Amino acid sequence: MERPCLYIVIPCYNEEQVLPITSGMFLEKLNSLMGAGKISEDSRILFVNDGSKDGTWEIICRLAAEDPHYIGISQSRNRGHQNAVLAGLMEAKDRCDITISIDCDGQDDINAMDEMVDAYLDGCEIVYGVRSRRDTDTFFKRFTAEGFYKLMNWMGAEVVYNHADYRLISSRALQELANFKEVNIFLRGMVPLVGFKSTSVYYERHERIAGKSHYPLRKMLSLAFDGITSLSVRPIRLITGLGLVIAVLSFIGVIWAVVSGLMGNTVTGWASTVCIVCLMGGIQLLCLGVIGEYIGKIYLETKARPRYIISDRTWEEP
């Protein structure tokens, strides 16, 4: 088999502190893979600048001028991590045989790439990078992050446990992923839906080399909610179930009220009535909110706006 051409796709948002350090590590890895004869010489490191407000794009341009293995594209504005990764993957899919997406902060162990490429050479089209330990994350981050995966799966959005967006995808699988036209993208949930032979590679997660995380708890919760509502209708089913349970309980309550009324016991409980009315009001609003979220998504999907807009490239398009 001919040696595959690899593109390492790296989203970057306000990473001027990190990029000068990690870019060298990525190039070293690429060189060692090329040296080992696993990938072809035209492999590249593709940075995706996600509308950074600092000097990230300037750094990418400088790197591209220094070494032909570095290339970069820039999004016209900040669209978030998922859109940045998708933009990079779609840009790469017609130019290479395999892509590996990885964050630029050095948290994911680049040495897992060797195993990923080996798994591809063994016939896998998708290789998930899975964190085996999170010792360097704080207890709080670890607890919330692991809760995130459990909640996702429980809500019907199947994701690979402890796998983020560090993965190898072959261009063949990417061509199929390109047919998933949704604008609400959650790659962790979409890639398993593409199918093909896949496997996992385990690695240890390190601390961020510099700068700080863009995913505090608030963003993580919104990512979880977004992922769930993009991939599954289980929350709506749960609402249906909840409605049924409450209806049955109320029916029993009505029978009880009638029977005790007939037996001459008039009920005094005003407070308990108000409590139940408020509780019901709250539950109804919550359920409406969940349904509204889905309607909002339908609204966005019907508009079918572009998922990313590339404004600059470090090379000249013919």
Residue 62 interacting partner from Mg ion, ligand UDP, none (CB closer than 5 to 8 Å by kind)? none
Neighbours of 50 (CB within 10 A): 26
Quote the least distance from Cβ 147 to ligand UDP, whole Å. Answer: 14
Given the structure tokens 């940045």, which residue do they identify? 84
CB 72 within 8 A of CB 49: yes
| Contacting ligand UDP within 29-68 (CB under 6 A) | 50
Burial 152-161 (b: 16+ CB within 10 A, else e): beebebebbe
Give the span between the Cα atoms of 123 and 255, in whole angstroms.
64
Beta-bridged to residue 11, according to DSSP, are 48
By CB under 6 A, name the one of 5, 45, 86, 104 that touches ligand UDP.
104
Site for Mg ion contains 14 (CB under 5 A)? no
Distance in Å, CB of 15 to Mg ion, minimum = 10
> Rule CB under 6 A: is residue 215 a binding residue for ligand UDP?
yes
CB neighbour burial string for 163-189, b if at least 16 within 10 angstroms, e if fewer: bbbbbbbbbebbeebeeeeeebbbbbb
Six-digit token pair at 306? 């572009």
- Contacted by 214, from ligand UDP, Mg ion, none: CB < 5 to 8 Å by type: ligand UDP
Least separation in angstroms between CB 5 and ligand UDP: 23
Asked if 12 is part of the footprint of ligand UDP (rule: CB under 6 A), the reply reads: yes
**5 is written with which tokens?**
């051409």
Smaller CB distance to Mg ion: residue 60 or 102?
102
The yes or no reply on residue 11 touching ligand UDP (CB under 6 A) is yes
User: Which one, 105 or 125, has the nearer CB to ligand UDP?
Assistant: 105
The interface partner of residue 250, options being ligand UDP, Mg ion, none and the CB cut-off 5 to 8 Å by kind, is none
Stretch that binds ligand UDP, among 78-86, 116-124, 183-191, 297-305 (CB under 6 A): 78-86
Task: State the nearest-atom distance from the C-beta of 134 to Mg ion, in Å.
Answer: 12
What is the spatial distance between Cα 180 and Cα 83, in angstroms, rounded to a whole number?
13
Segment near ligand UDP (CB under 6 A); pick from 187-195, 212-220, 253-261, 310-318? 212-220
SS3 266: coil
Which amino acid is located at 57 in the chain?
W
Given the DSSP bridges, would you call strands 6-12 and 44-49 parallel, antiparallel or unpaired?
parallel
| Site of tokens 């009315």 | 277
From the CB of 54, what's the least distance to Mg ion, in Å? 17
Beta strands 198-204; 126-133: pairing state: parallel
Q: Among the candidate windows 16-24, 101-109, 186-194, 310-318, which touches Mg ion by CB under 5 A?
A: 101-109
Give the one residue of 74, 107, 171, 229 binding ligand UDP; rule: CB under 6 A. Answer: 107
Contact call for residue 107 and Mg ion (CB under 5 A)? yes
Which residues touch 184 (CB under 8 Å, ≥6 apart)?
226, 229, 230, 297, 300, 301
Outline where 36-159 has alpha helix (H). Answer: 56-66, 81-92, 112-121, 139-154
- Residue 105 interacting with Mg ion (CB under 5 A): yes
Candidates 78, 153, 184, 232; binder of ligand UDP (CB under 6 A) is 78
**Contact positions with ligand UDP (CB under 6 A) in 110-169:** none
Distance of CA 136 to the CA centre of its chain: 21
Residues that bind ligand UDP (CB under 6 A): 11-13, 15, 50, 78, 80-81, 84, 103-105, 107, 213-215
Question: Which chain residues interact with Mg ion by CB under 5 A?
Answer: 103, 105, 107
